[in-house]
Amino acid sequence: MARLNHKRPGRLPRIEVVDLFCGIGGLSYGMKTAGFRILAGFDLDQTCKYAYETNTGGEFIYKDIKEVTPYDIAHRYSRRAIRVLAGCAPCQPFSSYAFKNKEKDKNKYDLLYEFGRLVKDICPDIVTMENVPSIGSFKLKPVLDDFIKLLESLEYHVKTKVVYCPDYGVPQTRKRLVLLASRFGDIELIAPTHKKEEYLTVRDTISHLEPLQAGEKSQSDPLHRSRALSPLNLLRIKSTPEGGSWKDWDVSLQLECHKKDTGKSFGSVYGRMQWDQPSPTMTTQCTGLGNGRFGHPEQDRAITVREAALLQTFPREYIFFKNEKDISLSTAARYIGNAVPPRLGEIIAVSIIQHLIQHEKNMKCPWI
């Protein structure tokens, strides 16, 4: 993976981060890798506390964003620090699935407005947000447009970009919208770090791991553990070629729903990954064979938690559980699927550093 330049000139002060909707800390960890000081993360999933605090060094605060006060955040920043407020609100309300299930996540539509409320009262130096691209075309409420208008009314310089993650060293075909806003001047994401021929692949990322059968786990790595498969699903995966799906099966193996016209559009279900391509987007169900193209390229099983974590760019040393010998596969998959890839967090942090270097002379700050 390409190394990034994290160096800051001596005149720049410490850069401090508070992370809203922090989860287990993918974004915070990426920023920490770039040299940022992580102060705290806020989230409503108490089970994320151990992983967040252990890996990022920041304090995990269990609190609903609707109840978070400006003081809860502002008092944590040092007087002479660059203050970064990050907020990657849950993407599910704005996903394509949510467009068909509008009532399910109705209460989550306002989370970005709560983020805006805190920005308005705190006035951090830098604001960043990551979400699904479809948030920009969300029809029930113009949540992204309203957020950008608020930032611009507060005299922030705002830039958004839809990121194709392989362009930045993430080995999965994930697309995300990244927003950067600064009080100091124009800001944007750095140029892509990888050309198409340099994209990291499934082979680059997980081929070194020991082979496993369905339902088996590694003796040396508790997270390298595969879900068991029923006899029928084992026949199905054996009938699926690399890069294939249920469409390659004999009709006797197909589900009834796939034989209908309405089911034919779900071409990736029960699919295998390809060795020499990036993986599909890691979701909260990424260790289940029937939930997408999460079959191993050649072994007859779905990918393991360890494989999903590596494809999401979590390093081998990242600690997800206090006792990793006794884990829930569904919980681990939820942690990984909900996380910002740490590599993308690092890219955002390096973009902020380069922006600060460029605009250092324009800053009216106490350290100058």
The residues annotated as belonging to the active site are 91
The distance in angstroms from the start CA to the end CA of the chain is 36
Whether residue 351 contacts residue 190, with contact meaning beta carbons closer than 8 Å, is answered with yes
Binning the chain into helix, strand and coil, the percentages to the nearest 5 are 40, 15, 50
Point out which residues pair with 217 in neighbouring strands.
225
CB atoms within 10 A of CB 107: 10
- Rounded CA-CA distance 124/86 in Å is 10
What are the DSSP E strand ranges found in 79-125? 82-87
Instruction: Report the SS3 class of residue 43.
Output: strand
Return the axis-axis angle of helices 26-33 and 342-358, rounded to nearest 10°: 50
**The pair of three-digit structure tokens given for residue 199, joined into one six-digit string:** 């994209």
The vertex-311 CA angle with 18 and 2, nearest 5°, equals: 75
State how far the Cα of 209 lies from the Cα of 307, in Å rounded to an integer. 8
CA separation for the pair 179, 191 (Å, rounded):
15
What is the rounded CA–CA span in Å between residue 113 and residue 129? Answer: 12
Rounded to the nearest 5 degrees, what angle is found at the Cα of 306, between the Cα atoms of 30 and 300? Answer: 140
Paired residues of 218 in beta bridges: none
Secondary structure of 313-360 as H, E, C letters:
CCCCCCCCCCCCCCCCHHHHHHHHHHCCCHHHHHHHHHHHHHHHHHCH
No. of helices (H) and no. of strands (E), the chain: 12, 7
Say if residues 70 and 3 touch (Cβ distance below 8 Å).
Answer: no
Amino acid at 322: K
